Amino acid sequence: MTDIPTVTVALPEDRTRLLDTLVLGFAADPMARWLAPDANTYLRLGAALFDAFGGKAFEHGTAYTANDGAAVALWLPPGVEGDDEAMMETSAQMVPPEALGDMAAVFGEMETHHPQEACWYLPLIAADPAHLGQGLGGALMKHATAVCDEQGLPAYLESSNIRNVSLYQRHGFEVMGEIQHGSSPVLRPMYRAAR
C-alpha cells in the first residue's frame, strides 16, 4: 500500500529549492527544452524563467508542494499574472535566435486562449523525476481544484506534454485546442469549468 501524499502550502523561504524541483521536473519537457535546448543554459536560467512565469504564487500562498518538495504546483489566483518583463528577458537569454519569432507567436496565442473571466491559472506543475509514479501530481491537482470549487471559479492551464493531458482530464479539464508555431512543440490549452 502506498502512502497518501501530503500537500502543503509552500513557504516563501522554500522558493529556491522548489524552483529547483520544477527545473528537474521539466528537464525533459518538450516546450521547456525547445525554449532552452542547451543543457547548461537550461540549468542556469530555468529557475529564473519558472519564477517569472509562476513565482508570484509564493507571494499569494498558492504555491503547493507534495511530500515536502517532491512535487510542486504554482497556481496563480484570479487577477494575478506572471512577470511578463522578466519572462521575456530570461527567454531572450535562453531561446535560440532562430526560434524567437515562433516563441513570441506561441506566447501570443497563449494569451488569446486564456479565459477573460476570473479564474485560477496553473502555469507550472512538476515532480522531481526521482519521485514520479507516486500520485504526487494527482494530489496537487485534487488540492487546488478543491480550492477552485470552494470559490466557484474555473481553472485554466496549458499542457506542454501530451502525457500529462489525461491527468488534467481526470481532474475535470478539457482540451480547448492546440497551439503550435514553426518549430515549436504542441501546447494544449485546457479549461475546467466552475463547479
Bridge partners of 122?
Answer: 157
Bridge partners of 33?
Answer: none
Q: Is 137 left (phi over 0), alpha (psi -120 to 50) or beta?
A: alpha
Helix (H, G, I), strand (E, B) or coil at 125: strand
Please state whether the predicted TM-score (pTM) of the whole model is above 0.75: yes
Please compute Rg for the chain using Cα positions: 16
The single-letter DSSP state of residue 65 is: E
CA distance from start to end of the chain: 32
For the chain, 195 residues long, give each residue's pLDDT as a single digit of tens: 358 899 999 999 999 999 999 999 999 999 999 999 999 999 999 999 999 999 999 999 999 999 999 999 999 999 999 999 999 899 989 999 999 999 999 999 999 999 999 999 999 999 999 999 999 999 999 999 999 999 999 999 999 999 999 999 999 999 999 999 999 999 999 999 999
CA dihedral 193, 10, 56, 190 (to 10 degrees): -30
